[in-house]
Amino acid sequence: MTFPQAPLIATAQALMAPGKGLLAMDESVSTCNRRLSEVGIAQTEESRRRYRELLVTAPGLSEAISGAILFDATLQQKTGDGVPFVDVLRAAGIVVGIKVDAGAKALAGHAAEHVTEGLDGLRERLARYASLGARFAKWRAVLTIGDGLPSRACMLVNAHALARYAALCQEAQLVPIVEPEVLMDGGHSLARCSDVTTEVLHQVFEQLHRQEVALEGMVLKPNMVLPGLACELPASVDEVAEATLNCLRRAVPAAVAGIAFLSGGQPAALATARLNAMHQQASLPWPLTFSFGRALQQPALGLWAGSDSNRVAAQSALLHRARCNGAAARGAWRPAMETEAFPA
Protein backbone atom coordinates (compact mmCIF):
# COMPACT_ATOMS: atom_id res chain seq x y z
CA MET A 1 0.00 0.00 0.00
CA THR A 2 1.14 3.57 -0.63
CA PHE A 3 -0.15 5.38 2.46
CA PRO A 4 2.26 6.27 5.33
CA GLN A 5 2.63 3.36 7.75
CA ALA A 6 4.69 5.09 10.46
CA PRO A 7 1.68 6.83 12.12
CA LEU A 8 -0.26 3.55 12.14
CA ILE A 9 2.63 1.69 13.70
CA ALA A 10 3.08 4.42 16.34
CA THR A 11 -0.62 4.27 17.29
CA ALA A 12 -0.60 0.47 17.42
CA GLN A 13 2.44 0.52 19.67
CA ALA A 14 0.79 3.11 21.92
CA LEU A 15 -2.23 0.84 22.28
CA MET A 16 0.05 -2.05 23.23
CA ALA A 17 2.03 -0.06 25.81
CA PRO A 18 3.43 -2.39 28.51
CA GLY A 19 1.07 -2.96 31.41
CA LYS A 20 -1.87 -1.28 29.69
CA GLY A 21 -4.92 -2.45 27.74
CA LEU A 22 -8.13 -1.28 26.10
CA LEU A 23 -11.40 -0.31 27.74
CA ALA A 24 -14.22 -1.49 25.46
CA MET A 25 -17.15 0.86 26.08
CA ASP A 26 -18.66 0.57 22.61
CA GLU A 27 -21.95 -1.10 23.54
CA SER A 28 -24.86 -0.31 21.24
CA VAL A 29 -27.85 1.55 22.64
CA SER A 30 -29.81 -1.69 23.11
CA THR A 31 -26.94 -3.48 24.83
CA CYS A 32 -26.21 -0.54 27.10
CA ASN A 33 -29.89 -0.26 27.98
CA ARG A 34 -30.00 -3.94 28.88
CA ARG A 35 -27.06 -3.60 31.23
CA LEU A 36 -28.52 -0.48 32.84
CA SER A 37 -31.83 -2.26 33.31
CA GLU A 38 -30.11 -5.18 35.05
CA VAL A 39 -29.05 -2.87 37.90
CA GLY A 40 -32.24 -0.81 38.00
CA ILE A 41 -31.10 2.28 36.08
CA ALA A 42 -33.50 4.17 33.80
CA GLN A 43 -32.89 3.37 30.13
CA THR A 44 -32.51 6.91 28.83
CA GLU A 45 -29.97 8.80 26.74
CA GLU A 46 -29.01 10.84 29.79
CA SER A 47 -28.41 7.71 31.88
CA ARG A 48 -26.15 6.34 29.17
CA ARG A 49 -24.26 9.65 28.97
CA ARG A 50 -23.83 9.89 32.75
CA TYR A 51 -22.58 6.33 32.97
CA ARG A 52 -20.05 6.81 30.21
CA GLU A 53 -18.95 10.09 31.77
CA LEU A 54 -18.26 8.14 34.95
CA LEU A 55 -15.99 5.81 32.95
CA VAL A 56 -14.00 8.35 30.94
CA THR A 57 -13.43 10.71 33.89
CA ALA A 58 -12.21 8.05 36.35
CA PRO A 59 -9.06 9.54 37.93
CA GLY A 60 -5.90 7.62 37.12
CA LEU A 61 -7.51 5.48 34.42
CA SER A 62 -4.55 5.92 32.07
CA GLU A 63 -2.32 4.06 34.53
CA ALA A 64 -3.62 0.81 33.03
CA ILE A 65 -5.72 1.87 30.02
CA SER A 66 -4.05 2.85 26.76
CA GLY A 67 -7.15 3.20 24.59
CA ALA A 68 -10.93 3.40 24.83
CA ILE A 69 -13.32 2.03 22.20
CA LEU A 70 -16.40 4.24 21.89
CA PHE A 71 -19.77 3.92 20.17
CA ASP A 72 -20.88 6.45 17.53
CA ALA A 73 -23.08 8.43 19.93
CA THR A 74 -20.46 8.31 22.70
CA LEU A 75 -17.79 9.79 20.44
CA GLN A 76 -19.88 12.95 20.24
CA GLN A 77 -21.05 13.14 23.88
CA LYS A 78 -19.83 15.61 26.49
CA THR A 79 -19.48 15.76 30.24
CA GLY A 80 -22.01 17.63 32.34
CA ASP A 81 -19.62 20.59 32.15
CA GLY A 82 -19.64 20.51 28.35
CA VAL A 83 -16.23 18.93 27.72
CA PRO A 84 -16.26 16.39 24.86
CA PHE A 85 -15.43 12.86 25.98
CA VAL A 86 -12.78 12.75 23.25
CA ASP A 87 -10.99 15.70 24.86
CA VAL A 88 -11.22 14.13 28.33
CA LEU A 89 -9.62 10.93 27.10
CA ARG A 90 -6.91 12.61 25.07
CA ALA A 91 -6.01 14.88 28.00
CA ALA A 92 -5.54 11.75 30.09
CA GLY A 93 -3.24 10.22 27.47
CA ILE A 94 -5.79 7.61 26.34
CA VAL A 95 -6.08 6.91 22.60
CA VAL A 96 -9.63 7.26 21.25
CA GLY A 97 -11.16 4.48 19.18
CA ILE A 98 -14.55 3.81 17.60
CA LYS A 99 -16.66 0.76 16.76
CA VAL A 100 -17.56 0.97 13.09
CA ASP A 101 -19.45 -2.23 12.20
CA ALA A 102 -23.24 -2.31 11.89
CA GLY A 103 -23.71 -5.55 13.83
CA ALA A 104 -24.08 -9.22 13.01
CA LYS A 105 -26.95 -10.16 10.71
CA ALA A 106 -28.26 -13.57 9.62
CA LEU A 107 -26.10 -15.16 6.95
CA ALA A 108 -28.17 -16.00 3.88
CA GLY A 109 -28.72 -19.73 3.58
CA HIS A 110 -27.21 -20.39 7.02
CA ALA A 111 -29.93 -19.75 9.57
CA ALA A 112 -27.75 -20.40 12.63
CA GLU A 113 -24.86 -18.18 11.54
CA HIS A 114 -24.13 -14.50 11.11
CA VAL A 115 -22.11 -12.09 9.05
CA THR A 116 -21.15 -8.63 10.27
CA GLU A 117 -22.35 -5.79 8.06
CA GLY A 118 -21.35 -2.15 7.72
CA LEU A 119 -18.97 -1.89 4.77
CA ASP A 120 -21.31 0.34 2.77
CA GLY A 121 -20.28 3.95 3.34
CA LEU A 122 -17.46 2.91 5.65
CA ARG A 123 -14.80 5.03 3.91
CA GLU A 124 -16.85 8.17 4.55
CA ARG A 125 -17.62 7.21 8.17
CA LEU A 126 -13.96 6.56 8.88
CA ALA A 127 -13.02 9.99 7.54
CA ARG A 128 -15.61 11.59 9.83
CA TYR A 129 -14.46 9.61 12.86
CA ALA A 130 -10.85 10.58 12.20
CA SER A 131 -11.89 14.24 12.03
CA LEU A 132 -13.59 13.84 15.42
CA GLY A 133 -10.39 12.55 17.02
CA ALA A 134 -10.47 8.77 16.62
CA ARG A 135 -7.13 7.06 15.95
CA PHE A 136 -8.26 3.45 15.78
CA ALA A 137 -11.40 1.47 14.99
CA LYS A 138 -12.96 -1.89 15.78
CA TRP A 139 -14.99 -4.45 13.80
CA ARG A 140 -16.37 -7.61 15.42
CA ALA A 141 -17.26 -10.86 13.69
CA VAL A 142 -19.02 -13.64 15.61
CA LEU A 143 -18.75 -17.37 14.95
CA THR A 144 -20.60 -20.17 16.70
CA ILE A 145 -19.31 -23.68 17.36
CA GLY A 146 -21.88 -26.43 16.85
CA ASP A 147 -22.74 -29.46 14.78
CA GLY A 148 -21.05 -28.60 11.48
CA LEU A 149 -20.48 -25.04 12.64
CA PRO A 150 -18.96 -22.72 11.85
CA SER A 151 -19.43 -23.42 8.17
CA ARG A 152 -16.64 -22.59 5.76
CA ALA A 153 -18.91 -20.03 4.14
CA CYS A 154 -19.37 -18.24 7.46
CA MET A 155 -15.63 -18.19 8.15
CA LEU A 156 -14.78 -16.92 4.68
CA VAL A 157 -17.37 -14.17 4.47
CA ASN A 158 -16.49 -12.79 7.90
CA ALA A 159 -12.75 -12.99 7.23
CA HIS A 160 -13.26 -11.12 3.95
CA ALA A 161 -15.31 -8.39 5.66
CA LEU A 162 -12.72 -8.00 8.43
CA ALA A 163 -9.96 -7.60 5.86
CA ARG A 164 -11.87 -5.06 3.76
CA TYR A 165 -12.63 -3.07 6.90
CA ALA A 166 -8.97 -3.21 7.99
CA ALA A 167 -7.73 -1.97 4.63
CA LEU A 168 -10.15 0.95 4.67
CA CYS A 169 -9.08 1.82 8.22
CA GLN A 170 -5.42 1.97 7.29
CA GLU A 171 -6.26 4.08 4.24
CA ALA A 172 -7.87 6.54 6.69
CA GLN A 173 -4.83 6.31 9.00
CA LEU A 174 -6.83 4.50 11.67
CA VAL A 175 -5.42 1.37 13.29
CA PRO A 176 -7.86 -1.51 12.78
CA ILE A 177 -8.74 -3.71 15.73
CA VAL A 178 -9.58 -7.01 14.01
CA GLU A 179 -12.00 -9.01 16.19
CA PRO A 180 -13.00 -12.52 15.07
CA GLU A 181 -14.84 -13.90 18.12
CA VAL A 182 -15.51 -17.61 18.47
CA LEU A 183 -18.32 -17.62 21.00
CA MET A 184 -18.28 -19.51 24.31
CA ASP A 185 -21.85 -20.74 23.80
CA GLY A 186 -22.29 -24.50 23.53
CA GLY A 187 -20.85 -27.71 24.91
CA HIS A 188 -17.68 -27.92 22.84
CA SER A 189 -14.37 -29.00 24.33
CA LEU A 190 -11.20 -26.98 24.75
CA ALA A 191 -9.66 -28.93 21.86
CA ARG A 192 -12.62 -28.19 19.57
CA CYS A 193 -12.42 -24.48 20.35
CA SER A 194 -8.69 -24.58 19.59
CA ASP A 195 -9.27 -26.21 16.20
CA VAL A 196 -12.00 -23.76 15.21
CA THR A 197 -10.16 -20.67 16.45
CA THR A 198 -7.01 -21.72 14.63
CA GLU A 199 -8.89 -22.20 11.35
CA VAL A 200 -10.75 -18.89 11.76
CA LEU A 201 -7.48 -17.05 12.32
CA HIS A 202 -5.86 -18.73 9.32
CA GLN A 203 -8.74 -17.51 7.15
CA VAL A 204 -8.59 -13.99 8.60
CA PHE A 205 -4.87 -13.58 7.97
CA GLU A 206 -5.17 -15.02 4.46
CA GLN A 207 -7.73 -12.32 3.67
CA LEU A 208 -5.67 -9.60 5.40
CA HIS A 209 -2.75 -10.60 3.17
CA ARG A 210 -4.93 -10.43 0.06
CA GLN A 211 -6.10 -6.93 1.04
CA GLU A 212 -2.48 -5.83 1.67
CA VAL A 213 -3.12 -4.85 5.27
CA ALA A 214 0.06 -3.81 7.10
CA LEU A 215 0.24 -6.21 10.03
CA GLU A 216 2.55 -3.89 11.99
CA GLY A 217 -0.26 -1.31 12.00
CA MET A 218 -3.12 -3.51 13.27
CA VAL A 219 -4.12 -5.19 16.53
CA LEU A 220 -5.81 -8.58 16.76
CA LYS A 221 -8.65 -8.96 19.26
CA PRO A 222 -9.37 -12.69 19.52
CA ASN A 223 -11.20 -14.89 21.98
CA MET A 224 -9.21 -16.99 24.40
CA VAL A 225 -9.40 -20.72 23.65
CA LEU A 226 -12.04 -21.97 26.08
CA PRO A 227 -14.36 -24.93 26.52
CA GLY A 228 -18.02 -24.09 25.88
CA LEU A 229 -20.14 -22.89 28.77
CA ALA A 230 -22.06 -26.20 28.71
CA CYS A 231 -18.94 -28.38 28.47
CA GLU A 232 -18.70 -30.99 31.22
CA LEU A 233 -14.89 -31.02 31.12
CA PRO A 234 -13.58 -27.79 32.70
CA ALA A 235 -10.16 -26.46 31.83
CA SER A 236 -7.68 -25.04 34.32
CA VAL A 237 -6.23 -21.56 34.01
CA ASP A 238 -2.93 -23.02 32.82
CA GLU A 239 -4.64 -25.30 30.30
CA VAL A 240 -6.48 -22.33 28.80
CA ALA A 241 -3.27 -20.30 28.64
CA GLU A 242 -1.37 -23.12 26.93
CA ALA A 243 -4.13 -23.89 24.43
CA THR A 244 -4.56 -20.22 23.56
CA LEU A 245 -0.87 -19.59 23.01
CA ASN A 246 -0.44 -22.74 20.94
CA CYS A 247 -3.32 -21.63 18.74
CA LEU A 248 -1.89 -18.14 18.29
CA ARG A 249 1.60 -19.44 17.52
CA ARG A 250 0.15 -21.56 14.73
CA ALA A 251 -2.00 -18.88 13.16
CA VAL A 252 -0.84 -15.32 13.92
CA PRO A 253 2.14 -13.83 12.04
CA ALA A 254 4.93 -12.40 14.19
CA ALA A 255 4.59 -9.02 12.44
CA VAL A 256 1.23 -8.25 14.10
CA ALA A 257 1.60 -5.26 16.42
CA GLY A 258 -0.15 -6.95 19.32
CA ILE A 259 -2.95 -9.12 20.61
CA ALA A 260 -5.64 -7.74 22.93
CA PHE A 261 -8.01 -10.44 24.15
CA LEU A 262 -11.75 -9.95 24.44
CA SER A 263 -13.37 -11.20 27.64
CA GLY A 264 -16.40 -12.73 25.92
CA GLY A 265 -18.49 -13.06 29.07
CA GLN A 266 -15.80 -14.63 31.26
CA PRO A 267 -15.96 -13.80 34.99
CA ALA A 268 -13.77 -10.74 35.54
CA ALA A 269 -11.14 -12.24 37.85
CA LEU A 270 -10.92 -15.45 35.81
CA ALA A 271 -10.24 -13.55 32.60
CA THR A 272 -7.47 -11.69 34.45
CA ALA A 273 -5.95 -14.91 35.79
CA ARG A 274 -5.93 -16.48 32.33
CA LEU A 275 -4.22 -13.46 30.77
CA ASN A 276 -1.63 -13.48 33.55
CA ALA A 277 -0.93 -17.19 33.03
CA MET A 278 -0.07 -16.58 29.38
CA HIS A 279 2.74 -14.29 30.49
CA GLN A 280 4.26 -17.12 32.49
CA GLN A 281 4.98 -18.99 29.26
CA ALA A 282 8.04 -18.72 27.05
CA SER A 283 8.72 -15.50 25.14
CA LEU A 284 6.22 -14.61 22.46
CA PRO A 285 6.59 -12.67 19.18
CA TRP A 286 3.84 -10.16 20.04
CA PRO A 287 2.75 -8.33 23.20
CA LEU A 288 -0.43 -9.65 24.84
CA THR A 289 -2.96 -7.50 26.67
CA PHE A 290 -6.68 -7.08 27.25
CA SER A 291 -9.57 -5.36 25.50
CA PHE A 292 -12.34 -5.96 28.02
CA GLY A 293 -15.86 -4.58 28.29
CA ARG A 294 -17.98 -6.27 30.94
CA ALA A 295 -14.92 -7.69 32.71
CA LEU A 296 -13.81 -4.11 33.41
CA GLN A 297 -17.13 -2.31 33.71
CA GLN A 298 -19.53 -4.60 35.54
CA PRO A 299 -18.34 -4.01 39.13
CA ALA A 300 -18.43 -0.25 38.57
CA LEU A 301 -21.88 -0.30 37.00
CA GLY A 302 -23.33 -2.33 39.86
CA LEU A 303 -21.87 0.02 42.48
CA TRP A 304 -22.97 3.18 40.67
CA ALA A 305 -26.58 2.05 40.19
CA GLY A 306 -27.41 5.46 38.70
CA SER A 307 -26.60 7.49 41.81
CA ASP A 308 -23.91 10.17 41.82
CA SER A 309 -23.40 9.52 45.53
CA ASN A 310 -21.81 6.23 44.45
CA ARG A 311 -19.62 7.80 41.78
CA VAL A 312 -16.32 7.66 43.69
CA ALA A 313 -16.83 4.04 44.74
CA ALA A 314 -17.77 3.05 41.18
CA GLN A 315 -14.74 4.75 39.65
CA SER A 316 -12.52 3.11 42.26
CA ALA A 317 -13.94 -0.29 41.25
CA LEU A 318 -13.22 0.43 37.58
CA LEU A 319 -9.68 1.52 38.36
CA HIS A 320 -9.13 -1.57 40.51
CA ARG A 321 -10.13 -3.90 37.68
CA ALA A 322 -8.01 -1.92 35.21
CA ARG A 323 -5.00 -2.18 37.53
CA CYS A 324 -5.52 -5.92 38.06
CA ASN A 325 -5.57 -6.44 34.31
CA GLY A 326 -2.62 -4.12 33.82
CA ALA A 327 -0.67 -6.29 36.22
CA ALA A 328 -1.80 -9.41 34.32
CA ALA A 329 -0.58 -7.85 31.08
CA ARG A 330 2.89 -7.81 32.67
CA GLY A 331 2.56 -11.28 34.19
CA ALA A 332 2.63 -9.67 37.65
CA TRP A 333 -0.94 -10.33 38.84
CA ARG A 334 -1.49 -12.26 42.07
CA PRO A 335 -4.87 -13.56 43.35
CA ALA A 336 -4.45 -11.40 46.46
CA MET A 337 -4.70 -8.30 44.26
CA GLU A 338 -8.39 -9.00 43.77
CA THR A 339 -9.12 -7.97 47.35
CA GLU A 340 -6.20 -5.75 48.35
CA ALA A 341 -6.06 -2.00 47.82
CA PHE A 342 -3.69 -0.59 45.26
CA PRO A 343 -1.44 2.31 46.25
CA ALA A 344 -3.14 5.67 45.74
* Per-residue pLDDT tens over the stretch 136-150: 999 999 999 999 999
Asked if the structure places residue 192 within a domain, the reply is yes
For residue 208, is pLDDT > 60?
A: yes
User: What is the per-residue pLDDT across 50-75, written as a single tens digit (0 to 9) for each?
Assistant: 999 999 999 999 999 999 999 999 99
Q: Is 179 a catalytic residue?
A: yes
Rg value, the chain, Cα: 19
Is position 338 within any domain?
no
Q: What is the pLDDT of residues 226-258, one digit of tens each?
A: 999 999 999 999 999 999 999 999 999 999 999
Measured CA to CA, the distance from residue 322 to residue 299 in angstroms comes to 11
Q: Which of 20, 99, 138, 221 is catalytic?
A: 221
Please report whether residue 305 resides in a domain. Answer: yes
38/52 Cα distance (integer angstroms) = 16
- Whether 91 maps to a domain, the answer reads yes
CA distances from residue 325 to 53, 157, 246, 288, 339 in whole angstroms, order as listed: 21, 33, 22, 11, 14
Catalytic residue among 179, 206, 212, 338: 179
Instruction: Say which CATH number the domain at 46 has.
Output: 3.20.20.70
Is 343 inside a domain boundary? no
List, in order, residues 6 or more apart from 312 with CB less than 8 Å away. none
342 located within any domain? no
113 as an active site residue: the answer is no
More confident site: 276 or 339:
276
Residue 337 located in a structural domain: no
The answer to whether residue 313 scores a pLDDT higher than 60 is: yes
Residue 189 has pLDDT above 60, yes or no: yes
Give the residue numbers spanning the domain of 225.
6-103+111-332
pLDDT tier at 342, thresholds 50, 70, 90 = low
> For residue 1, what pLDDT is reported?
64
pLDDT tens track for 253-303: 999 999 999 999 999 999 999 999 999 987 899 999 999 999 999 999 999
Total number of domains in the chain: 1
Residue 231 located in a structural domain: yes
- pLDDT of amino acid 341: 75
Whole-model pTM over 0.75: yes
